[in-house]
Structures are given as structure tokens and as C-alpha cells.
Amino acid sequence: MRALKRLIGVGGVLLAASATAAIELVPVAGATRVGSTPLPVQASAVTQQGQLISWQLTAAKPFSPGGLARHGRALCLLIHASKPTVVSGKVCIEGPAKGSGTGRLLYMKVTGNTSAPGVGVPATITRTSSRQFGATFLPSSVGLAYRPFYWQVISSLRAAACAPPVRGRQTCFDLYPPHPTRLKLHEPVLVGCQPRGPSLVYHGPSRGREIALTFDDGPWYEPPTIDFLHVLEREQVPATFFEIGRQVAPYDPLGAVEQRMLVDGDMIGDHTWSHPNMARLMPSAQRAQLLNTVEAIRRATGFTPCLWRPPYGAISPSLVKLARSLGLLTIMWNVDPRDWALPGVNAIYSNVVDHAASGAIVIQHFGGGPRYQTLDALPKEIATLRRRGYQFVTVAQLLGLRLIYR
């Protein structure tokens, strides 16, 4: 970008200016060694991976995130959210946080000629060699929505290390690629998940304070399934819904509720076609119960589930093996408030919060009978568990399953 290649001195701080925005090259306190030139970038790519943005970079020389600042250098991803001539933000590689050796990302919003203070970006950082750096993060964490944007990498010297400009030679920064590149970021659509790990699951790992709320026997009308979604959306809590196949089309003819679940970040699982005791069926009937439900969910949403829950918890080793051969993990539970028996809102609430623990899978119901007690207990459960430091995840997240998007 021609305008970006113009260097402007402002109060001893150098700015790399675009048509309407400036990228500040900030001095680093305590930098004892400096590089005479910016770190040369050999290659870089920004792509979409499902819900995430992936930034991959290869330098021409070895480097460490912490060493960038010590050597008076900076390495940032410039974001042009609306047009290639306007920089709206930058994502910079920084030294590692305490206890981490891979580095981290800081995001700075750019307005006019100023950058806002840096904010840490939740990201997965990878380093496959001393010259390579990779990071994946949500677009929202760097000020982006799921729509096209432009990007460019700026490798620069901090102000204290930057020599005066020399005619015909850039001494303060390099851009890669030379012109901003467009990425057509699109709204991701969840189409499946990949089973991994044990075929039979009662709970998740206990090392983190995570809990999975699950609901069986829907979709339903007492109360309408959408009422459960309203509570979960308001509380920003994901859940896992195990659905009965023959109820999907009658209770949600257009698949609107199921599609909304997926957009919200919820997970949908298979709860058989007609809710039989699966352990008493012949293998051919078991297979039909599972596959017919998979197809009903796929028709409604375009999503192929990889989780199933046996009605009544009735299983056998051969049934678990069959389900796995069909791409389905058998998901049981370890917290059961017996809400199907309508014991009362307080009884349901107390049972859940008293037995909750890290890695718990909580079973409740959103169908198969009037579930107003379950719905009324839900906000109290969420509030108490959140106050105790628990985070809510889907079963797929609890088990670390890979989600498939298109």
C-alpha cells in the first residue's frame, strides 16, 4: 500500500501511516539489544478454520516471541476490516505469559492515528520450528465479524531501534505481502463432529471446572423447546440436546429450533427414533433406531451427530460397539435430578448443585412430559454453579471432540 510505505515522525515516535489510520511503532522500556533491520518475513497466510481465524507465519530467521521486544522488533498482523486503505486494528506477537513458552497475542484497536491499549487475545499458539509461528482465535476477539476483511503483516523496528529513513531503502518496517490480501470470512455452519476416545462415557475430565448440561426427549411443546433456548441464550450457556427422531419433524417442521441450537453453540445428539429399551432389541432394530434419528436430525439441520444417549440408560457391550461403528459415542451421565418424576423445582435444583463436580454430565429433560419444573430450575442451577466457578460446555467440548464446519 503506497500510503503505508510513508514514514512520519511524530514526537520521536515513528508512525507507518495509511490513508486514514496510523500504526504506531511503540518504544520498549528496558530493551537492551536491538535489530538493525526488521525481522524478515518469508511467508504468511491467514485462513478460516471453522469458527476460527488461523494466522501462520514463517520468518527468514529464527526468533522467539520474547526476543522480539528485547531486540527492538515488533511483528503484527494488520487488520483492514472495511477497506484495504484503512487499518482498524493490529494483532501483535508478544513474549510469553507467565508459565507459557509459546508466546501470546495482543490486540490493539486502531482509530485514526492512535492505537488503543493492548488486550490479550484468547488463542491457541503453535510453534513447529524456531522460524514458524501459528495462532488460531475467534474473529470477535480481534474486532471482526464473519464477513470479508483485508490483512497484511507488518514487521517493524521499535522507535528506539529505528534509524532515520534512507532514500530508496526502508529501515523501519517491511510489509508482507506488499499489498493487503482479502479473506472472505463467512459464517461457519456446523455439519458434524468426530468421535474420539472411549466409546462409553459417564463423565468428562475432572482436571478443569467444566460441566455439561444435557437434555433428553425433545423436541416438545410443554413448554416449547424454544423456551429452554431463551434461558440458555440469556445466560450464554451452551447445552447438549438428545432428540427423539420421530418427534423432530412434528414439533419443529422447518428445523428452525434445531438450527438455532447449533447457531447458539449447542450440540444435538441422537436419542433413538422412538425411545425403546435398546438393550432388548435385535441388532438390526438397534441400527435402524440410531440411523433413522441421525437422518431426521440431518434433514432438519444439515448436521450429523456423533453422540447418542440410550433411553433409560439401557446398554450392552455389543450395543456400544454398534453405535461406535456408526460414528456415535454412547453418552451416559453422573448427575441425575430425576426431573422426569416432577419432584419440584427446588428438588431438581438442589440435586443438580449438590452433586455437581468438575467434568460432570448432568441429565435433565426437555420433552416426554410437562417440563416446566426443569425449565424453572435451570436459571437457579446456572447461577449457583457459575458462582462456584464452573464453566458450561457441550458434551463435545467436554470430551475435546473436533467439530466439522463448512
Q: How far apart are CA 105 and CA 333, in angstroms?
A: 37
Nearest to 145 by CA among 85, 96, 187: 187
Indicate if 130 and 247 belong to the same structural domain.
no
CATH number, domain at 325?
3.20.20.370
Amino acid at 363: I
Indicate if 30 and 175 belong to the same structural domain.
yes
Indicate if 319 and 170 belong to the same structural domain.
no
Give me the domain span that covers residue 287: 190-405
Indicate if 52 and 80 belong to the same structural domain.
yes
Instruction: Decide: 29 and 17 in contact? Cβ < 8 Å.
Output: no
Model confidence band, residue 170 (pLDDT cutoffs 50, 70, 90): low
- The pLDDT assigned to 162 comes to 55
- The pLDDT assigned to 11 comes to 24
Exposed/middle/buried for residue 365 (C-beta within 10 Å: 0-12, 13-18, 19+): buried
End position of a domain, from candidates 144, 161, 183: 183
Quick one: average pLDDT of 316-333? 98
Supply the DSSP symbol for 375: H
Sign of CA dihedral 162, 164, 170, 173: positive
Bond preceding residue 370 cis, omega within 30 of 0? no
End position of a domain, from candidates 183, 209, 227: 183
Indicate if 30 and 51 belong to the same structural domain.
yes
What mean pLDDT, rounded, does the chain reach? 89
- For the stretch 69-100, pLDDT in tens is 888 899 999 999 989 999 999 999 998 865 45
How many residues comprise the chain?
406
Indicate if 152 and 242 belong to the same structural domain.
no
Q: How far apart are CA 93 and CA 337, in angstroms?
A: 47
Q: How far apart are CA 78 and CA 151, in angstroms?
A: 6
Indicate if 163 and 302 belong to the same structural domain.
no
Q: Which residues make beta-bridge pairs with 57?
A: 44, 133
- The pLDDT assigned to 1 comes to 40
Indicate if 11 and 38 belong to the same structural domain.
yes
Indicate if 24 and 162 belong to the same structural domain.
yes
Indicate if 137 and 197 belong to the same structural domain.
no
Q: What is the pTM of this model?
A: 0.78
Residue 273, C-beta contacts closer than 8 angstroms, at least 6 positions apart:
244, 245, 246, 288, 289, 290, 292, 293, 296
Indicate if 305 and 386 belong to the same structural domain.
yes
- Chain centroid to CA 237: 13
- The pLDDT assigned to 329 comes to 98
- For the stretch 202-220, pLDDT in tens is 999 998 899 999 999 999 9
- Chain centroid to CA 384: 24
Indicate if 179 and 209 belong to the same structural domain.
no
Q: How far apart are CA 320 and CA 286, in angstroms?
A: 11
Structural domain tally of the chain?
A: 2
- Chain centroid to CA 233: 16
Sign of CA dihedral 156, 105, 396, 378: negative
Residues with a catalytic annotation lie at: 216, 365
Model confidence band, residue 169 (pLDDT cutoffs 50, 70, 90): low
- The pLDDT assigned to 158 comes to 75
Amino acid at 142: V
- For the stretch 338-378, pLDDT in tens is 999 999 999 999 999 999 999 999 999 999 999 999 999 99
Grid coordinates belonging to 138: 475467534
- The pLDDT assigned to 20 comes to 32
- For the stretch 22-73, pLDDT in tens is 344 443 333 434 457 899 999 999 999 999 999 999 999 999 999 998 888 9
Amino acid at 249: A
Q: How far apart are CA 308 and CA 272, in angstroms?
A: 8
End position of a domain, from candidates 143, 164, 183: 183
Residue 254, C-beta contacts closer than 8 angstroms, at least 6 positions apart:
none
Q: How far apart are CA 180 and CA 176, in angstroms?
A: 8
Instruction: Decide: 269 and 242 in contact? Cβ < 8 Å.
Output: yes
